[in-house]
Structure 1
Amino acid sequence: MSDEDELFSWSPDVDPSALDVSTLIMTLGAFIDAGHAQHLLRQSLLSELAHRPLGQFSLDEILDHRDSRPPIIFDENHFEGYETPTITLHEVTDELEQHFLLLDGPEPALRWEGMARAIERIIRQTDVRLSIVTQSIPMAAPHTRPVQVTRWASRPELILGEESPFGKIQMPASFPAMLSQRLAEHDHDVLGLAAHVPHYLSDLDYPDAARGLLDAIRKTTGLALPSHALAMAAGVVRAQISNQVDNSEELSAMVHNLEEQYDSQNGQREIESKHVVLPSADDIGAEAEAFLRAMDTDSDSPSETEDAESTGDAESTGDAESTGDVGTAGTTGGTAQRGEVGTPEDRHDDEPSTGAGPSAEASGQDEGPDDEGPYRPRHGDDSWHS
């Protein structure tokens, strides 16, 4: 038995090759889950969408129970309520009947390399094209502003042109981070999403962070994921927080400072995103000199004199005939050229177009995933354009 088979086992009734999925979402815990965003995201997906378990990892092989300490209840004179932790692979169906995988559970403490190989094997067996790692981090951000989500990926096309606010940082590794590197080394597309949680709320449930992750997943994959429950919970939490802040001058001042910092940073990013590099005076001078040199070269060319003489001869021998020939040739050439791209004025109504034809997007056809470009959903909307 291989290392991968020992760690993960499929349910007896599951044929992984028969699954119609292209996305794997992971809510594996790490050393921090600020605002409990991963927990809330998993809870939202599994409570609002149809799903079924596909298989599980053997946690006795990969989890240090002394570190995780699962809860147990002592009731007067006996223990009860202990639930064995699990890392479970689910098949989830979204609101448009699209299927995706969800891998959920605690962060493994042991055998990281074996666990990574097991997940890579699951990806190969199910033909998953994109793996999404979700996480949340405490940041100096106010709860009165939209949650920012930092993206990182195995290749820049998956980040959709967004720039990270972070530079180069060395930090203690987590299993999701290590897994992302291993999958990228095997040319598998990985997208990481990190929701920014107000640091003063990192130990509390913060549904807005889970909503931010959900919106980012929808934008990237086109999956139809509901957010009604998260939106309602977020409204309740914001009202509770605002009530506490309003009753504390210290909290009000802190939130106000964070708002000013947030607005300043985002305003600067907007300016930088619209920044246009203008040519310098030296660049303009060099371009002008090059243009003048080209003009001098053209004026000294003998072909210009010959063209003028031939034009005069043509005018003396008959302007009408020459003009007619040029007009006919131009029309013929123009028609042939336009015919290549299939413009409507150059073909009859009963003739099929010889051009490129309508695009798949315009015709509503699904071309399927593009192996050369960034990830695109197999089905669903085109929300990744936004």
Structure 2
Amino acid sequence: MDGFTLSPIEPPLRSPIVILAFTGWSDTGTVTTDAANHIVDVLGGQQFLQVDPEDYYVFTDTRPTVSIDETGIRRLHWPENAAFAVRTENGDHDLVVIRGIEPNLRWRTFASRLAEAIVPLRPFLVCTLVARPAATPHTRPIPVTGSSADPRLAARYGLGRSLYQGPTGIVGVIHDVLRRQGLDLVSLAAGVPHYLSIDENPPATLALLRALQPILGFPIPEGDLEQRAHAFVERVNDASSGDDQVGTYVRTLEAQYEDDLDDEGTSDEQPGRSELPSADDILKDVEDFLRGSGDR
């Protein structure tokens, strides 16, 4: 199957809900893939799909990484895409969690092969997770918006209609292929503070997991994620304390957040755009601190 290897799932899943998360265009700060990994970690999962990266990546663009294990041996890690069957004790649906890295090559083939793996499972619903930069402050709850192109699904789950037109990522391509197969599709998008260009954002990951509850019909155990989210906010506050420029910028975002709470949000595919000036320079110290390279 063009690099796709499938294993049988026994016993069959109960009308599964499919959750899709990919790093790249649709995932600011690995928020969505962190959410997918959390679901598998806390609920358990049987991996039934893996993808050979050789067919879909330019390794000078998406490079493999190395790490040193507990025995001191250097290990090589290739870009990975995988799917897990997750059996649930609550509700009427099991889960299929698919998480991976946006490919560099052969998107149509990748999406078609993924659809061939998903459709035979007869999913009840497919939910894609998105995280996008937004003009929102780290001191306020992370906004999550939901959308569906199907008015029936939008009404059932209280979602908006996606009207976006423009460039898309692998999530958009997979959406199109699955829609042509007649599957029901929805999307949840977290708005991540655009001035925190770092590799994690526990508050946004937590917000996505909580937003999934009405769709799944049961809450996902949070573990220590809430504590990690509080610690993250405290670290940002600590890094930015004493800087008047940073404080003024965040207060401006807070005021805008309160004013636009009901109508903030852009498409589930297009990163949010702020009308405020860029914070790249005035919050460089914050980013350095959170990466562990700051002096404070």
TM-score grouping bracket, smaller chain normalisation: 0.7 to 0.9
Q: Identical aligned pairs, as a percentage?
A: 24
Is residue 2:174 matched to residue 1:158? no
Is residue 2:175 matched to residue 1:180? yes
Residues 238-267 of structure 1 show CA distances to partners (whole Å, capped at 9, x for unaligned) of 111122233211111111100111111126
- Assess if the C-alpha contact under 8 Å between 2:36 and 2:98 holds in 1: no
Is residue 2:32 matched to residue 1:38? yes
- Partner in structure 2 of residue 332 of structure 1: none
- Assess if the C-alpha contact under 8 Å between 2:43 and 2:87 holds in 1: yes
Identify which range, 17-26 or 257-266, moves more after superposition.
Answer: 17-26
**Distance in 2 of aligned mates of 1:115 and 1:56:** 12
- Partner in structure 1 of residue 108 of structure 2: 113
- Partner in structure 1 of residue 144 of structure 2: 149
Is residue 2:117 matched to residue 1:128? no
Is residue 2:23 matched to residue 1:52? no
Is residue 2:192 matched to residue 1:197? yes
Gaps of 5+ in 2: 265-296
Is residue 2:17 matched to residue 1:23? yes
Calculate the aligned-residue CA RMSD, in Å: 2.6
- Partner in structure 2 of residue 82 of structure 1: 76
Gaps of 5+ in 1: 270-386
Among 1, 9, 19, the residue aligned to 2:5: 9
Deviation of 1:62 (Å): 1.7
**Distance in 2 of aligned mates of 1:231 and 1:72:** 30
- Assess if the C-alpha contact under 8 Å between 1:94 and 1:225 holds in 2: no
- Partner in structure 2 of residue 71 of structure 1: 65
**Residue pairs, 1:1-386, within 5 angstroms:** 5-11=1-7, 14-15=8-9, 18-31=12-25, 33-72=27-66, 80-94=74-88, 96=90, 99-159=94-154, 160-163=157-160, 168-171=164-167, 173-266=168-261
- Assess if the C-alpha contact under 8 Å between 2:48 and 2:84 holds in 1: yes
Counterpart amino acid of 1:141? T
Deviation of 1:192 (Å): 1.4
**Distance in 2 of aligned mates of 1:247 and 1:92:** 46
- Assess if the C-alpha contact under 8 Å between 2:45 and 2:84 holds in 1: yes
Residues 163-207 of structure 1 show CA distances to partners (whole Å, capped at 9, x for unaligned) of 47x864423x21111111222233211111111001111324211
- Assess if the C-alpha contact under 8 Å between 2:2 and 2:113 holds in 1: no
**Distance in 2 of aligned mates of 1:17 and 1:123:** 16
Counterpart amino acid of 1:229? D
Residues 255-292 of structure 1 show CA distances to partners (whole Å, capped at 9, x for unaligned) of 110011111112678xxxxxxxxxxxxxxxxxxxxxxx
**Distance in 2 of aligned mates of 1:190 and 1:104:** 17
- Partner in structure 2 of residue 349 of structure 1: none
**Distance in 1 of aligned mates of 2:205 and 2:131:** 9
Deviation of 1:17 (Å): 8.2
Deviation of 1:121 (Å): 1.8
**Distance in 2 of aligned mates of 1:7 and 1:153:** 31
Higher relative contact order (CA 8 A, sep 6+): 2
Counterpart amino acid of 1:208? P
**SS of residue matched to 2:79:** coil
Deviation of 1:127 (Å): 0.9
Counterpart amino acid of 2:29? G
> Structure 1 residues 242, 48: closer, same or farther in 2, change over 3 A?
same
> Structure 1 residues 176, 251: closer, same or farther in 2, change over 3 A?
same
**SS of residue matched to 1:233:** helix
**SS of residue matched to 2:76:** coil
> Structure 1 residues 37, 73: closer, same or farther in 2, change over 3 A?
closer
**SS of residue matched to 2:20:** strand
- Assess if the C-alpha contact under 8 Å between 1:50 and 1:92 holds in 2: yes
**Distance in 2 of aligned mates of 1:9 and 1:16:** 16
**Distance in 1 of aligned mates of 2:233 and 2:52:** 39
Q: Flag the structure with larger Rg.
A: 1
Task: Give the alignment's TM-score, normalised by structure 2.
Answer: 0.78
Residues 295-354 of structure 1 show CA distances to partners (whole Å, capped at 9, x for unaligned) of xxxxxxxxxxxxxxxxxxxxxxxxxxxxxxxxxxxxxxxxxxxxxxxxxxxxxxxxxxxx
**SS of residue matched to 2:97:** strand
Equivalenced residue count is 259
Deviation of 1:151 (Å): 1.9
- Assess if the C-alpha contact under 8 Å between 1:151 and 1:193 holds in 2: yes
